Chain A
Amino acid sequence: MPKIQTNGLGLWYGGFHALKNVNAGFEANKITAIIGPSGCGKSTLLRVFNRMNDLIEGVRIEGDVLIDGSNIFDMRTDLVTLREKVGMVFQRPNPFPLSIYENIVFGVRVHNGRVKRDKLDEAVEQSLKSVLLWDELKDRLDKPALRLSLEQKQRLCIARLIAVRPDVLLMDEPCSTLDPQATARIEELMRELKASYTIIIVTHNMQQAARVSDDTGFMLLGELIEFGRTEAIFTAPRDKRTEDYITGRYG
């Protein structure tokens, strides 16, 4: 059974039909890329999975999204628990204007209330190690996170998320502000992380999707046109529109 399954998922922003009948299964311990031109609904789809669209007024959703078999739109779903399980990395690295340490322990504190200092230290060390920042930053954990480089900031944001111990990492164009070297290193990190997480990445960058993902979905105007193994999508797309997009005939 896939980790995340959508059944007939539709979404409206007021009168705008942003997602149309999306049916897809996202496997655990794999990286699934969602590609498509701007405004095709790929970020919207990503934001369905941790219900960030709830923040926007006038959003209406139909269909089901099952995570581990339970519907996240169920009245009993607790948003806090859902977001503890399904975390998000944003397009722009967005650490809080706090120290490196405080950034990482924020989520830990939110979910566990008062936590002993040594537990926090441990969480900071583990999460920084898992994003390969520990050696660089261990001597300046009390320094403001905003002074880090863009790449370090984005890694820190991933570490902040990992500290909450989610199952699913949603990444919304996580490399779009990074240079090619930094992008390559973040992609490397994603490959390491997929052993422990279900990763869904939205990207503009087809090469990136081809490089890192196991499965790929191509979206156009709110529809999931094609979904399958990445090699299949890129080498033998079944749909003409997918082929047009990956061969560069859309913007």
Chain B
Amino acid sequence: MRRVLVANRGEIAVRVIRAAHAAGLETVAVYSDADAESRWVQLAGTAVHIGKSAAAKSYLNSAALVEAARETGADAVHPGYGFLSERPGAVKELTDAGLTFVGPSVSTIETMGDKAAARDAARRADVPIVPGSGPVGDVDEALAAADDVGYPVLLKAAAGGGGRGIRPVASREELADALPAAQAEARAAFSDDTVYLERAIDGARHIEVQILADHAGTVVHTFERDCSVQRRRQKLIEEAPAPGLSAETRADINEAAVRLARQVGYVGAGTVEFLLTPSGEFFFIEMNTRIQVEHPISEAVTGVDLVSEQLRIAAGEPISFAQDDVRIRGAAVEFRINAEDPDNGFRPTPGDLSTLDLPGGPGVRVDTGFVAGDRISPFYDSMIAKLICSGPDRDTALARGRQALAELRVDGVPTTVSMHRRLLDEPGLRAGAVHTRWLEGLLPEPT
């Protein structure tokens, strides 16, 4: 592996380019019409234009990526997150073209991308799963399954993910109408109308475990993150380690993630997501077979450079450390700075970024793909930057977060900065007593 094509944009493209250069690898950036002047294009060794602004015509166009790799002599592709990262068909096109994919195999992506297959794998690995059913085809089948699972239930699209394709159902009466609606939605969104049932769990926290696995079969974790501060299942604040977790639960949940990764023969960086109930039970939800947006908080508390480990693993090298070498040192919190208006129902706010003044100091890291003067494009997700604050303990990390958010100035587009400043005063957040519906409970109802 000598030259890595970075098949992504924004902050993660910058992150991967930095890690690759630090590892002595050359880089190739790709860009759409909208991103021609971007920071990652300037940072990479070479850059190739791959199409129009719409993602379907650029970052999702695997043929264009293969061509860009061929043209520039790239021998590996790092997918970042989103876009092609979890699309087995596209990844197969890359690997069939002889490129090393920085991530797991096509069949692993396929298995973990299929909710039913992923649950089966978890069951075999003795990892607890949320009580649920197999695929339900008709209303009678669904009613029988829901009686077993217990109401309230969630109807979930087998091909869904990232919080999409989920419909809550409170009672038997609602299920008859909800099933065909959920099937139609699943068909429309994922071209697959397979749905299944899962018990809805109230007051649960979203805990996820970062794992790394190499080609020699070594699997390690770099502990957990708590990503419970969400809106419509989109994460806004993440913390590492999860506050208030008992040593026993921490050990159990991290070991469960490692067991699942072993079970599926995982290779690369991945995240195993769990729900942790108020009574301390945890259940597997899904595995993300890629680097995650919130990976820097794990880096901050463990000192492990996850992207550089990804590159090592892809090159066939072993993970650079052993499980026993990894300790949690302190705490870290990440705030997602999105071009969304929190005072206006989180309406997306594309536009021109006139100011981007970044904070600094000990324990303050900002990952961004933008500079002042850039346009925040309507064609991609709304993230402008990630602010990661860490310290020897949680209070220090939060205090540094408060200061950093006070210093951070983003003008030109409304952002989530104002919301983060307010949330830091919330007793629930300060106490670490949040769950996945906590933020929605605080926000005014959408108008």
- Do chains A and B stick together as partners? no
Chain A residues in the interface with B (C-beta under 8 A): none
